[in-house]
Amino acid sequence: MHRTAVVRTTSEGKSIMQRRSIFGQATRTVAGAFALAGAGTLATGPGASAQTVSSAKPTAPTATATTGPIAGRSINLTTAWIDGSAVYGIDSPSGLAGPRQTVATPASLREGGAVASTGRMITSEGKNLPVANGLVLAGDPRAAENPDLAAIHTLWVREHNWHVERLAKVHPQWTGDQLYRQARAIVTAEIQQVTYREFLPTLLGPGAIPQWNGYRSNVDPTISVEFSVAAMRFGHSIVSNVVSREAEDGSLTGPEMLLRDAFFMPASEFVKHGGADGFLRHIGSDVSNTLDAHLVDDLRNFLNDPPVAIDLAAINIQRSRDVGLGTLNQTRVALGMRPHADFSQVTPDPELASRLKTAYGTIDRLDLWIGGLSERRVRGALVGETFHRILTDQFVRLRDGDRLWWENQSWDRGMAQWIRETTIADVVLRNTDTKRMQANMFLAAERADLGRPGVALAVARTDPHRASGAPIASTEVRSHDGTGTNTQFSALNGVGWQFGRIGPARFADGVHTMVAGDPNPRTISNVVVAYENTSIPAEKASAMLYVWGQFLTHEIEFAKSGTEDGSVFSPAGDPVLATGTMIPMTRLAVDTSTPPAAPGGASRPTTPPPGGNPGAASGANPPPRR
């Protein structure tokens, strides 16, 4: 299957150091398209040190409990909750600004601002996203990275306004602020529901995520570096090779584009030929590429104003070393799993096993990202067992450790049922000119096949809003910086919270110096990632799988960039790049200060044992009555 790259070029005249700044920040370029390279220790607060996770009530240790070197912890500049922040923005977004990116605050995205709010979010002509500096503007500054992502952002802004319009009709006495808050609560709940009802079952298999059984204050939802730098980067392997806009009948409404040519598409071009509506139809009908250790050649060998090149695989590997990520086997041991004895245990593909051995020599040097993509799949899932465990662990902790999770709120019974049944196809049907859509947009279905036997259609549902003097949900209003969700430790998962880790930090000095002697990331890319097993059956998943993965990653992660160069250079004998060609990467900023004290007792919720539920600990709060 032919696959093409997701890349963008720098503007003419950029200096080498400017290129390093642009391409080295995984949060701002192709390297961050699906997962940001966060780091840090699995700790309960800014500055907390690496701790063995446990099921006791989570609090950070005192500073005096920490001995030895303190591993660097990188900082998350957005909220780490699934809270709609990518749609609505955060209160202090100044650190998010980057090349060709404009930041917005929640107030600046509201009609009338925070004071004279109508409840609606600002749109441009045609109910599209507002425009700044020629690009679409949204709650997350990366919304303009590609048109598929911009279409998802457009969809949720329209959904917010759809709810505001209907709420205003049945509650004419409500203020604009009341309308905004209620619509925001509904949209956030819908984003959570789509993630857990559709995205995760497609990726991890039905039943992989246990049923929600109430908020658990002892569960720590901190984003682990293993999740951020490795497991959520599965999407780099499945990116569709083209971007298109489709009509209702499946015909193209505009020219088909390579995705690399569509990066940072001007807003004036985005709205042409059906705009967001056409892109959303394409997302549901196009099949994603095979999830494996292969990346398309354009992602690996894209020359950007030589001697600068882009090799996303090499950048991913280098980023894992930047943050001190453990190897595949070290991570498996930390997860309570048996380490692989040799490469043949990693993959059933003998050619891939041979290439891994050639690149790494010994199994204990195998990087987590490459190794995780190479593993044989869990039955019913698209990923291998190590990524499956990391992803399951993280998404259960994000849900069960969220006091303001939608099911933990007091909703009107009808609205609760509406949210529970919401699919992304529902949202598309009521906010675009699309008349038909398959029931599950995460499984590809060509437009011409909609309505045929075996392809279930989504059904438009009744408006859930009813005339009543009471709000539809007695929800606590989320902050726009993620703080206050945990009543014991307000800063938990808020802006500025540090990334954690499951396993021990792998630094040469225990702090921040990368381990020397590991294989050159570019060499690994040439030997392993260039290989494609064409005998693997095509995926059934649609492009929605990686587009939603990108949107979701931006929802919970934005790692702060540092200033230290971490570039990779091509070795002698490279089959494509001249010797010494720079593959730019800037290392992430880290905090190595002594961990502060925090309230409570133990440090971390447990990483789940095999088959375990990280939320299943004593002291759990029961779900609220309906």
- Phi and psi angles of residue 193, each rounded to the nearest 5 degrees, phi first: -70, -40
Identify the pLDDT of residue 122. Answer: 96
Flag whether pLDDT at 614 surpasses 70: no
Q: Residues of the chain with pLDDT > 90: what percent? A: 63
Identify the pLDDT of residue 625. Answer: 30
Going along the chain from its start, the domains and CATH numbers come out as: 16-81+96-105+216-591 (1.10.640)
* Token pair of 543 as six digits: 């492009």
Identify the pLDDT of residue 99. Answer: 62
Question: To which residue do tokens 């425009």 refer?
Answer: 131
Identify the pLDDT of residue 434. Answer: 94
* Token pair of 510 as six digits: 């225990």
Identify the pLDDT of residue 97. Answer: 62
Alpha carbons 206 and 418: distance in angstroms, whole number: 21
pLDDT category, 292, cuts 50, 70, 90? very high
Identify the pLDDT of residue 94. Answer: 64
Identify the pLDDT of residue 451. Answer: 80
Residues sharing a CB contact under 8 Å with residue 52, sequence separation 6 or more, in sequence order: 603, 604
Pick the residue with more confidence: 467 or 555?
Answer: 555
pLDDT category, 615, cuts 50, 70, 90? very low
Average pLDDT, the chain: 82
Identify the pLDDT of residue 501. Answer: 92
Radius of gyration, alpha carbons of the chain:
23
Q: What is the pLDDT of residues 490-548, one digit of tens each?
A: 999 999 999 999 999 999 999 999 998 899 999 999 999 999 998 887 789 999 999 99
Q: What is the pLDDT of residues 170-181, one digit of tens each?
A: 999 999 999 999
Three-state DSSP at 317 gives helix
Pick the residue with more confidence: 230 or 19?
Answer: 230
Residues sharing a CB contact under 8 Å with residue 284, sequence separation 6 or more, in sequence order: 425, 428, 437, 438, 441, 444, 445, 542, 543, 544
Residue range 88-110: mean pLDDT, rounded: 79
Identify the pLDDT of residue 609. Answer: 33
Identify the pLDDT of residue 100. Answer: 64
Identify the pLDDT of residue 605. Answer: 36
Give the lowest-confidence range in 489-503, 554-568, 594-608: 594-608
Flag whether pLDDT at 169 surpasses 60: yes
Query: Of 126, 194, 133, 98, which Cα lies nearest the Cα of 419?
Result: 194
Identify the pLDDT of residue 474. Answer: 64
Residue range 355-359: mean pLDDT, rounded: 98
Identify the pLDDT of residue 600. Answer: 35
- Backbone conformation region of residue 418, classed left if phi is above 0, alpha if psi is from -120 to 50, else beta: alpha
H or E segment at 568?
strand 568-569
Flag whether pLDDT at 65 surpasses 90: no
Q: What is the pLDDT of residues 394-412, one digit of tens each?
A: 999 999 999 999 999 989 8
pTM: 0.85
Q: Residue 207 carries which side chain, given as an amino acid letter?
A: G
